[in-house]
Structure 1
Amino acid sequence: MTPTWERDTFLAAVGDAVWAPSIHNSQPWRFRYTREGVDVLVDPGRVLAACDPDGRAARVSCGAAAYTLRLALAAAGEPAQYTIGRDGVAARLTPGRTRRATPAELRLHRQIRRRHTNRFPFADNPVEPAALAALADAAGQEGGWLQFVTGEADLNGVAELIRGADGRLSADPAYVAELSAWSRGADHRVEGVHPEAAGDAPHPAELLHRRDFGGPEHDATRDPTHAPLVAVLGVHGDGPADEVRAGMALQRVLLCAADLGLAVAMFSQPIEVPAAREGLRRLLDRPHLPQMVLRFGYAPTTCYTNRRPVADVVEP
């Protein structure tokens, strides 16, 4: 049996897929080239024990990488079909019918290496309603939902859940050590969140409390916005396969935002604390647990985190 995609095509697509987001830039994925296609697997050695003990965030990250791999193959004119969560594999890609890439696929593909998490101050400028609709549609195209948080009471409620969850996490010495290992102690040439990408240290006056990656401290907050644009992303289910699908939806939303010229910050602290996650679900009146809190807006391009070489993430 002949291989599915040419190996050079596979390696080029993986070269794009590694630019997917992951918690603390831990990159918890492996890619396996088979006679049937490509398997995307969780790398158990890169699952964060303190803030991701059940591997949920790693599965979301692998879903984001799988979507990026799909997009790269589509842009090359060799799109993939996929299945999720079978035989211990996060996602399995098999060849679809060869066709030309669509303009939308090419636009999103151009954003793969431009997209980055922005941990710096956002401008106090509104986002156009058409952009909100496009972001919600991007989530829906991957079987997810994106609910924007409207109204001062709900926004403050989400902010309190973020702050409370961050405080609870930061009281755990194992969490603090893990965060330090992936920021101050990481090999920033290939992984972790280096100082140039960390943003300022969180300030008590900022509404949305960011994770502390060791950035510089300031006497006053540099992000005084009182009405940031916040949304919560989720899917219609709570199982491991749903978490992989959530990663696909997340990455499509992030690339759509980049295509629209929007900056994005991610807040996963309330997803990592079960009580806060349930509180967020109730606040949104959703039947399923949320998967990520996102902030959209306008901010200058800051600094990109680095990625491991393709050879390090491909199984021999």
Structure 2
Amino acid sequence: MEMVNETTVQEFILEGFPAVQHLGKVLFLVHLLAYLASMAGNAVIVTIICVDSRLQTPMYFFLSIFSFLECCFTSTVIPKLLVIYLLGRQTISFVACFVQCFVTIFLGAVGFFLMTVMSLDRYMAICRPLHYPTIMNLKTCALLIISCLTLGFTSVTGLVVKVSQLSFCGSSLIPHFFCDIGPLIHLSCSDTRSVETITLVFALCLFLTSLTITIIAYSNIVVTIIRLPSAKERQKAFSTCSSHLIVLSLIYGSCFFIYVKPKQTNRLESNREAALVNTVVTPLLNPVVYTLRNKQVHQALREKVGRMKMSR
């Protein structure tokens, strides 16, 4: 028989972190500072890349898009968490919940595709330097970004629509601090086996495809770097990749822990902690990693700050 959506839940309750709810004001301040620092750091990266002509290359173009996505991703989740901490308002409407779910997964998927593109960009720059300027032109970069957005939208839309069609007729308490797909599936009173399978396949395809391409790209990069004649050239080549590798490790680690497992119901508590790393810590560390470990960005930033001081 065809299953009819018998949803009676009109709004959900985001549980947040009940074990530390008594520290609401303190946690509000900590997360607010982290959110503002993350937004400011990523905004600085976008701005410095836009205004400094030396940084207007494919690598920094992709980095600026990635930083912009991080701002959007963080802004989708953290403001509601701040409201929970400060005012204790944990309710979120059915529609707003699924909008938040769609946006977070969409931005996350696009971020993965973009990180893969950045790996391929580094591969072309280091392993195919003579062909790099002709292949990685402005048109190619724009097409790659559009492809990332299109792939993210088409792959995520079907998944979130499928989950929204489940029946929600029991508890409305989401054991999370935002509307993530795993807790929503767990909350449904429908038979969720097919949706869980689709979610797992989606996550595996996204992670494994991205990870495989990245590993192949960086394997070739490592071989090419080792063959460089001087230690200075090897150090310079590696320095352009080290920041990217650090960010990749943080993102892959937290997301793989959250999404790539056959049963979402067993680790919802630990999922919250991993998701907090992915939504607060990683976006906060990205600007630090890219500015402190990237000499060109660091130098451009110092020069701009120096000019601002002199103009006063």
Fold shared by both chains (TM-score > 0.5): no
Considering fraction of residues, name the structure with more helix: 2
Considering fraction of residues, name the structure with more strand: 1
Larger radius of gyration: 2
TM-score range, shorter chain: under 0.3
Q: TM-score, normalised by structure 2?
A: 0.27
Higher relative contact order (CA 8 A, sep 6+): 2
